[in-house]
Every structure is written in C-alpha cells, then in structure tokens.
C-alpha cells in the first residue's frame, strides 16, 4: 500500500455524517400498537447514557483511526470497526427493544430509527472502502465483509432480536414469509430462464443480421420502458380472455390473475439486459479469432457454437446476473395481481400503515437480491476464468 501521510478523508466524512446522525436523529421509534403512530426517541432515551456513550465512542475511534491514512493495519482496523459498529447498532437495538416495548403496553412495537440507519450506512461505507483496498476476495477482505452479516444472522437465530417490531411481524407471518420468499425466487428463476433462452436467441439474431438489430432492440427496449405495473395491467385483460377461451389453461393457473401476468411481465422485462449483453458479448469476440475459425472451415453455426458464444459468455452471464437481480425486485409487482411474493408484505404494510411489515418485506427482498448477486458473481468468476475481451471492471 502506497499510503502514508494526510488524513483519511472517507473515514472523516463517515464520522461527520454518522456521529451527529446517531446523536441527534431518533434511534428508536416506539408505537403502542402495530398501526399507531410512533414516538421517536433519541438515543439517550432509547438506550440510556451508558450505551449511547459506548456507541458514540466507537465513532470517536473512527476519527482517531482516520487521522492518518496509514498502512494495511489501519485499513483492516477501520474495516473491522465499521463492521463491528453495524453489528453493535443492531445488537443494541435488539437488546433494548424489550424494555422500551414493555413500557408502552402489550401490543407495543419498537423499530429502528433513522439515526441508527444513517449511522449504520456511514459505518458501512468504511467497510466498503476497506474491502476495496484489501481486495474483496482476499481473506481479510472477506472477513471484513462477512463480519456484520454473520453477527446479524447469529443474532437472528438466537432470538436476540425478537423484541424488535420487525421480528414480531415476522413471528405473525412466518409461514407466509417463507412461501412468499420461495415464490419470489421461483418467479424470478422461471422468468430469467425463459428470458435467457429467448434473449440469447434474439441477441444472436440481432448480431448476425444488421438489419434486424434496430427492430429487435427497439422492441425489447419498449418492454423496459413501460412501467412494470402498467405491463402487468396490460397483460391482465388478454390473459383472462385467453383463459376464458381455453379453460384448460386454468388448470395450470394461467389466468388474468395469479402467476401468469407476473411471470410474463417479468420475462419481458428481463429481455433487454440479456439481449443487449448477448449482442455486446458477441461483438467483443476479436475478429481475428473469428477469421481464424472461418479459415479453418467452420460453418456459421459451428462458429457460433464453438467460438463466438463461448468467448462472449462472460458478458452474457453478466447480463443474466443483472437481469436476475432486477427481476427479483420487479417480482414485487406480483402482489397486485394476487401473486404470492414478498411484494405482498410491502404493499400490505403500506396499506395498513404498518411500517415494520413493509420493512420486513423490503429487507428480505434486498437481502435476497444481494445474496443472489454475490453468488452469481462468484459463479461468474469461477466459471469464466479465462481472459476474454470486454471483461467488466471492478465489482462491489
């Protein structure tokens, strides 16, 4: 590391944002019942002076560690500290939620307040910066990155966080939660699979035939431009008409509501990223290689199967990955047509004005998206170790 002198600006900035937010913004929000309006509590009231000072002093340590950029040791220390602060914030929230709730009655709900959120995000930026400098896949980088998630998972499993409003909502809906999560994954998987099959084909077509390039992209872009909800809305009528005309389809659940309009919409949405990346991936194959293949007597389809597609595959896979993550997010729309996805919690929470339920759905969705993204990135680098043209750059 060629670091040295001067202050570490990112750390200082994180502290400047994180410490005041922690002290001045609400740390917890207490409600008498799941739909009542909440009282926002600053940290002193929410967690008491001792814990407030403890958490605040962690930020002071960040400032101290940021006076100099320092070498590897400083970088690791800041990263671990950031991860630790996230875990500590969650732990303290969980620890104190029980007492706070007890004062407010039987049905009380305690949520994490804005101050804790901002402080945690500021701490996360320390983790991000640290991981980037250490190398995300290096042992230290992985340690810094996994510390907070591991701690939180441990807290969840041991029931440490059960007094938080979010977990109480979960307790209410546990079965549905896992069904909805599973369905979200299922919808996404089906949509992306179909979209990949169709999208790669369309990408090849557009690549081979210059005249078709514009119409193909134009069509696929139109699907992306139309708002998701509108797409679902547009599909409801035709699908229900079809299912009326051919009642046999109803047996499979195809109809105006249910999974059919959602999965169709999701598939159409997933197309653009895949078509675009297939096209780009095929274009990234060096023409010298293609010429060599032709010179050896390969036919067009042999070229495609044995040379162009394999070499373009990393870019294509990257498109599948982004598409999958997007689709997981889009799957929330299923809630509007009776599809059983995590979107139901989100919108139900919004409709009932129960923020914790909304949070539950959102966090689950985000976590799923992040996990799937990370797994696919690992698969991508493992499967495509060879050097190809057009490799994408660094990834978070």
Binding residues for another protein, rule: CB under 8 A, are: 2, 4, 9-10, 13, 29, 111, 114, 117, 125, 128-129, 132, 222, 224-234, 236-237, 240, 256, 325-326, 328-330, 332-333, 336-337, 343, 346-347, 349-351, 353, 355, 358-359, 361-362, 365-366, 369-370, 373, 395-396
**Least distance in Å: CB of 76 to another protein?**
17
Closest CA to 267 of 317, 203, 193, 200: 193
Residue 45 or 240 having the CB closest to another protein? 240
Rounded to a whole number of angstroms, the minimum distance from the CB of residue 354 to another protein is: 10
| Closest approach of another protein to the CB of residue 350, in Å | 6
Give whichever of 112 and 155 is closer to another protein, judged by the CB atom.
Answer: 112
Element (H, E) at 109: strand 109-112
Q: Report the C-alpha gap between 42 and 48 in whole angstroms.
A: 10
Q: Which is nearer to another protein, 9 or 305 (CB)?
A: 9
Nearest residue (CB) to another protein, 240 versus 388: 240
In angstroms, give the least distance from the CB of 224 to another protein: 8
Q: From the CB of 35, what's the least distance to another protein, in Å? A: 12
Angle between helices 259-283 and 210-225 (to 10 degrees): 140
Q: How far is the CB of 88 from another protein (least distance, A)?
A: 21
Question: Which residue, 128 or 290, is less far from another protein as judged by CB?
Answer: 128
Q: Which residues contact 337 (CB under 8 A, 6 or more apart)?
A: 232, 236, 256, 257, 258, 261, 262
Query: Of 53 and 229, which has the nearer Cβ to another protein?
Result: 229
Smallest distance from the beta carbon of 328 to another protein, in angstroms?
7
The single residue listed with the structure tokens 């549905």 is 176
Encoded tokens for 307: 């040379």
Q: Is 379 helix (H, G, I), strand (E, B) or coil?
A: helix
* Nearer CB in complex with another protein: 309/342: 342
Instruction: Compute φ and ψ for 70, nearest 5 degrees.
Output: 70, 180
Q: Which residue has the tokens 């250490």?
A: 134
Min CB(237)–another protein separation in Å: 5
Gyration radius of the chain over CA positions? 25
**Cβ closest to another protein, residue 33 vs residue 57:** 33
User: Alpha-carbon torsion 55, 57, 63, 69, what sign?
Assistant: negative
Three-state SS for 177?
helix
Encoded tokens for 203: 């990408």
What is the number of other CB atoms lying within 10 angstroms of the CB of residue 95? Answer: 16
Nearest to 176 by CA among 350, 348, 25: 348
């Amino acid at each position: 590391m060629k670091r040295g002198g001067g202050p570490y600006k990112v750390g200082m900035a994180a502290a400047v944002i994180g410490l005041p937010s922690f002290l001045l913004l609400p740390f917890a929000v207490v409600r008498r019942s799941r739909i009542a309006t909440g009282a926002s509590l600053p940290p002193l009231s929410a967690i008491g002076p001792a814990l407030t000072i403890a958490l605040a002093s962690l930020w002071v340590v960040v400032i101290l560690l940021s006076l100099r950029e320092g070498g590897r040791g400083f970088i690791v220390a800041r990263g671990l500290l950031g991860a630790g602060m996230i875990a500590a914030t969650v732990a303290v929230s969980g620890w104190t939620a029980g007492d706070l709730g007890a004062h407010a009655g039987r049905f009380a709900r305690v949520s994490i307040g804005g101050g804790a959120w901002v402080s945690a995000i500021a701490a996360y930026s320390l983790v991000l910066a640290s991981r980037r400098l250490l190398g995300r896949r290096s042992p230290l980088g992985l340690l810094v990155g996994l510390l907070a998630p591991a701690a939180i998972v441990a807290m969840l499993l041991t029931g440490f966080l059960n007094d938080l409003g979010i977990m109480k909502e979960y307790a209410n809906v546990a079965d549905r939660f896992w069904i909805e999560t599973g369905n979200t994954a299922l919808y996404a998987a089906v949509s992306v699979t179909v979209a990949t099959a169709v999208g790669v084909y369309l990408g090849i077509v557009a690549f081979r035939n210059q005249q078709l390039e514009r119409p193909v992209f134009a069509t696929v872009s139109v699907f992306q431009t139309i708002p998701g909800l509108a797409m679902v809305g547009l599909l409801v009528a035709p699908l229900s008409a079809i299912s009326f005309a051919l009642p046999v389809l109803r047996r499979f659940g195809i109809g105006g509501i249910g999974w059919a309009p959602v999965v169709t919409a999701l598939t159409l949405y997933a197309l653009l990223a895949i078509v675009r990346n297939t096209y780009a991936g095929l274009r990234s194959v060096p023409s010298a290689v293609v010429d060599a293949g032709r010179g050896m007597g390969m036919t067009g389809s042999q070229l495609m199967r044995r040379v162009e597609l394999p070499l373009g595959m990393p870019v294509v896979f990257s498109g599948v990955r982004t598409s999958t993550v997007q689709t997981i997010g889009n799957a929330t729309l299923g809630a509007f047509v009776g599809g059983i996805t995590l979107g139901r919690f989100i919108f139900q929470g919004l409709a009932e004005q129960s923020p914790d339920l909304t949070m539950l759905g959102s966090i689950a969705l985000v976590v799923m998206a992040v996990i799937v993204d990370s797994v696919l990135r690992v698969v991508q680098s493992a499967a495509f170790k060879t050097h190809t043209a057009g490799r994408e750059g660094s990834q978070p």
